[in-house]
Chains A and B, each alone.
Chain A
Amino acid sequence: PPQTPIRAAMHSIQQLRGELTSNSDRPSGILMVYFRNCTVDPSEDIMKRVEQLSQIFSQKFAQAVGQRCEGLGKKRFTLGVQLYYKVMESMLKSEEKRLSVQNFSKLLNNATFHTSLLGCSLEVVLATYVGYSLKNGSSESPETNLCFPWILDVFQLHAFDFYKVIESFIKAEPTLKHDMIEHLWRCEQQIMESIAWKSDSLLFELLKQCREDGPEEQAEPPAT
């Protein structure tokens, strides 16, 4: 039957859930091997962090959408965690091939990396459902409160850190549909054009460090 916008949005939701049915909300055997290969095994920290972020996410979700929707928030979070572990495994496989290393201790013990990756995974899940709400003509739906950059505030993520995972996320998850890739591109644009320039942004610290380190490359001469 012809794809109406609502049917297309519902199809996106079914596809997202279908893609993740074979993925558990716990690390796979392959991920556990990567964890064990680390100088410092990050397994416990990763599990603990997912649990903590689950509590925070559910509370904020209920505040934004309605207390009776806390269970819905937990379901969204579970989908996000499934995608998080799936993409993490794919990222590590490609890094292993690219760098010819198997010990990712620094990366896998980097809390900002995990929070950003989980944040991006949840953004994909939320955008899929919000897309349905908007196409369903219920722009008043409380779920539209969850539009980007809501997830940055929930996890108190610096926009610049979230920005860093987007491209690798898109490369690592080939099943992402074009409209979702476009959504993540719009998130990037929003970060680069405004959010990254807020007064408390990491960007200013990085720019200061660059200036202190001195320019590695000579500035281009002005065009004549």
Chain B
Amino acid sequence: TQDYHFGLEDHEGISELFDCD
């Protein structure tokens, strides 16, 4: 089975991904 590789940096989250930071 495959482990999920988290790729977001500590300073990145859902707010930044949707340009709402």
Contacts and interface: CB of A to CB of B under 8 A. Distances in A.
A169 to B, nearest CB: 9
Contact of B6 (A104, A112, A167, A178): A167
Given A113-B20, A182-B2, A99 B15 contact: yes
Nearest to B7: A167
Contacts of B8: 167-168
A148 interface: no
A7 interface: no
Q: How large is the interface on A (under 10, 10 to 19, 20 to 34, 35 or more residues)?
A: 20 to 34
B4 A181 contact: yes
A185 B6 CA distance: 10
B8 to A, nearest CB: 6
B4 A168 contact: no
Interface secondary structure of A, over-half rule: helix
Contact of B14 (A91, A178, A179): A91
A94 interface: yes
Interface in B1-21: 1-2, 4, 6-8, 13-15, 17-21
A110 interface: yes
A171 interface: yes
B12 to A, nearest CB: 9
Given A112-B18, A165-B17, 10 more contacts: A94-B13, A95-B13, A99-B13, A106-B15, A167-B6, A168-B13, A178-B1, A182-B2, A184-B4, A185-B2
22 contacts: A95-B15, A99-B15, A104-B15, A107-B14, A110-B18, A110-B20, A113-B14, A113-B18, A113-B20, A164-B14, A164-B17, A165-B14, A167-B7, A168-B8, A168-B14, A170-B4, A171-B6, A179-B1, A181-B4, A182-B1, A184-B4, A186-B2
